[in-house]
Amino acid sequence: MRKITLFLFLFSTLLLSAQDLSKLTPQQIAQYKKLAGGMKMDNKTVMSELETSERTFEYPDSLRYKEFDDREFEIDKETGKRKEKEKVKKLEVYGSRMFRQSKITFEPNINLPTPRNYVVGSGDELLIDVSGLYDVNFKVKVTPEGKVRIPNAGLIQVGGLTIEKALREVKSELSKYYGGIGNGQTRVDIALGNIRSIRVSVAGEAAFPGTYTLPSLATAFNVLYACGGPGEIGSMREIVVVRNGEKIASIDFYEFLTTGNLKNNVVMQDNDILLITPNTSQVIIDGAIKRPGIYEVRPGESLEELLNYGGGFGENANRSVVNIYRYEGADRKVIDVPFSLISNSIVKPGDSIFIAPIDDFYNNIVYLTGAVRRPGSYSIDDDASVKSLIEKAGGVSDEAFINMAQIIRRRKNKIPEVISFNLAKVLNGEYADIPLHHNDSLKVDSVSAFLEDHEVRIAGEVLEPGDYKLNKKMMVKDLIYLAKGFTEVASTSNIQLIRIIKDPAKMEGGVKKSYNVSFVLDKELDIVEGTGDMVLENGDLVIVRPIEGVEPIRIASVEGEVKNPGYYNIETKNTRVSDLLNLTGGFTRYAFVEGAYLIRSEKIKSDQTSMSTILSRNLKKILQSSNSGDIDAKVLEKMQVKNLDDLSAIDTVATSGNFKEMQELLYAEGIVSLSLTDILKDPNSYKNILIEDGDILVIPKKSQTVKVIGEVMYPSYVVYSSSNSFSNFITASGGFSDNALRKNSFVLHPNGRVIGTRSFLGFKFYPKVVAGSIIVVPKKTLDLSGKVSAAEVVSIGSSITSVMALVYSILRNTN
């Protein structure tokens, strides 16, 4: 039981001594570490708290208020209705910042000259200097009995004496041994060496009350800063120094803050007590004041004195009246104090004082905006009018639309009223001038505000074709200049201007909608007077066509087993496959003529957009058709089938691409199957197609194998023999697997032609296989027809049986 009591006592003592340690500044922590030897608490425990905390300061809940906040609203979670959001405005206690400033300290200065009123005590070191007829000095330390020992002079009592009195005692004793002291020929001086430490207690409402060990030169302000200043309810204006049970000084910290006067900042002595009394009279001041906050007032202080503590009125303060929110018994009331009475109005504890700012409201202002020389705000008098205001602003600008202007006037009910009038007739006196009222807004629009955006377009062989803003009196030659002139292939002998007919009389009964005008201009823009001078109108289109017959260079290439592979120029539009082949010098001995094919890449043209959309929508149906004969090999590649080993079924190909991929597929590279043997026999045959720019003619090398992939037992290469059929190659690969979709099997010939399996009356006709072919056997697709499997039938039957057993059990128990 004794151990438990001792533990609780030590724990309570520690909590009381270390309360609110998080509020110390780093300088106070450092000072505390230095002086912690004199504290009656566990130094290690307290310092660990200090080093991991920061100091904050809040004032009591009783002084928080709501009168001066802007109103905000929120939704009540219980009722769902809109309600005013409760806000609490936090203000700073005046003077508390002084004890939170890291750059401000009140440490005693021990390098000052020795104060003559300093009281010598045990532990002080005195430096005694004798000069004149003698030159000797002594460094002596005051004993616990208050005495110092001087050679030859013996013990001298100095403890409890001021420096001045101690000097007289020392002179008196030394004069017995050193001549000339009495007549001034020998001089004796005393100074402090190392000073002693004193123990001072801080009690009352301090931030950190306790016992502190400080230098003996420490004053009351040094102690006040060391203890963190007044606590949450500590007074800034009644700080008492108690010595030997008597009050020797009273400190008003506001006097130091407002005037810098350190009145009653006495030097502390050993065992002195610094007592911080509770604060019993706080008030709040907020609004248009330079230093809003929480202040402490003394009995009898006026509102004017409190405003001085707050730094005085702000520049935007409404000084005509000051509002005081005051407690009166169990109620609160508002007191309006005129400026003339603030010096006689006494502030009471708990008052909340508010200085209202001047409203952002002018009682002699009008606003002028728009197409005037000097738009802005103007003052008005009793004779202010539209005409006088325009004259004050320097008149209207050149682009002003003066047929109409508007006055926006706010009536007493705050609903705006619009007054429209003819500004031109008011200015020239045809109409009566319109008087202006306070807070009117006069708007004069610009002519451009009533005009639609006008544009013209130039297309064809110019460097920068496109749409251009139509400026006033802009001509054809100006538009060509803006487009940076003609291209190299531009034909300037027939430049056309297309104009929309806007006059119904010229539309020929609504049949004719536009007409053309042709121009001839110099290609180097050396335009003479009278050419290209036609003024453009909104919506005009200028077209510059290329020189007839001019086309860019067209190139095709030949790859594979030819004597001279490479790039070749397509000189004429009627160059065919046979012509391109003749340029190569013929085939090599390894050429596989039957496997030749052409790779073609087309660019999307503007007139093919609608066609490509239609083909994209129907491509899936085309691919899914079981009767499809030839399928381009590049279709498989563009539909994300990376290699033929990954191909499972035509359905997979058909469903793997989205609309964008199909759009790209239609105009991407594609293989054109060629019957090169027939072309060589008959160059006039329709099979001898024309060569296009970018075409690649490929003559492959002879192959002696056939590749079988997909749903077969053993995908492999099989040696080609003309006597083997499709079924023979499947058999050589182990036959079809269980998942094989036989009816959709197809063969990819070396020349890019794809031939599928055909069916008639239940009989399958497999395609012909040639050397170098690839046989593809797709995989069956997932059956989503909704048929119930055997396992599902068993599961459903078990569930029905369980339900019947349950019903039977219930009926039996009921009976």
Please, what is the Cα angle at 383 between 378 and 384, to 5 degrees? 30
For the chain, residues with pLDDT lower than 50 are 1-25, 28-29, 31-71, 604-610, 620, 622-660, 662-663, 665-666, 784-785, 811, 814-815
Q: How far apart are CA 423 and CA 405, in angstroms?
A: 6
Structure tokens given for 468: 């251009």
Q: How many helices (H) and strands (E) does the chain have?
A: 18, 39
What was the pLDDT predicted at 658?
Answer: 45
Of all helices (H) and strands (E), which one includes residue 82? strand 82-85
Query: Residue 667: what pLDDT?
Result: 53
Conformation bin of residue 146: beta by default, left when phi > 0, alpha when psi is -120 to 50: left
pLDDT given at position 140: 86
At residue 571, the 3 state secondary structure works out as coil
The residue written with tokens 């009533």 in the block is 450
Query: What backbone torsions phi and psi does residue 661 show, to the nearest 5 degrees?
Result: -65, -40
Q: For tokens 């309006």, name the residue.
A: 336
- For the CA atoms of 409, 411, 416, 420, the dihedral, rounded to the nearest 10 degrees, stands at -40
Distance CA 342, CA 346 (A): 8
Specify the pLDDT at position 241: 93
Instruction: Please provide the size of the chain in residues.
Output: 815
pLDDT, position 799: 64
pLDDT at residue 73 in the model? 56
- 354: three-class secondary structure by DSSP: strand
Contact 287, 356 (CB under 8 A): yes
Q: What is the DSSP string of 166-208?
A: HHHHHHHHHTTTSTTTTTTSSEEEEEE-SPPEEEEEEEESBSS
CA atoms within 13 Å, Cβ hemisphere of 199: 9
pTM surpassing 0.85?
Answer: no
Q: Would you say 120 and 190 are in contact if contact means Cβ atoms under 8 Å apart? A: no
Kindly list the distances between the CA atom of residue 34 and the CA atoms of 28, 208, 270, 753, in Å, as whole numbers in the listed order. Answer: 10, 16, 18, 97
Q: Which amino acid type is present at position 429?
A: G
Rounded to an integer, what distance in angstroms lies between the CA atom of residue 203 and that of residue 223? Answer: 11
Amino acid identity of residue 532, one-letter, is G
DSSP β-ladder status, 282-287 and 352-355 = parallel
What value, to the nearest 5°, has the Cα angle with vertex 436 and ends 431 and 438? 170
Distance CA 254, CA 242 (A): 20
The three-state secondary structure class of 421 is strand
pLDDT at 273: 93
Sign of CA dihedral 93, 96, 98, 102: negative
Tokens of 810: 């219930």
Nearest to 158 by CA among 150, 149, 169: 169
Angle, helix 659-666 to helix 609-624, in steps of 10 degrees = 110
Coil, helix or strand for 662? helix
Neighbours of 625 (CB within 10 A): 12
- Please spell the DSSP secondary structure of 447-477, one letter per residue: GGGGSPPPEEEEEESBSS-EEEE--TT-BHH
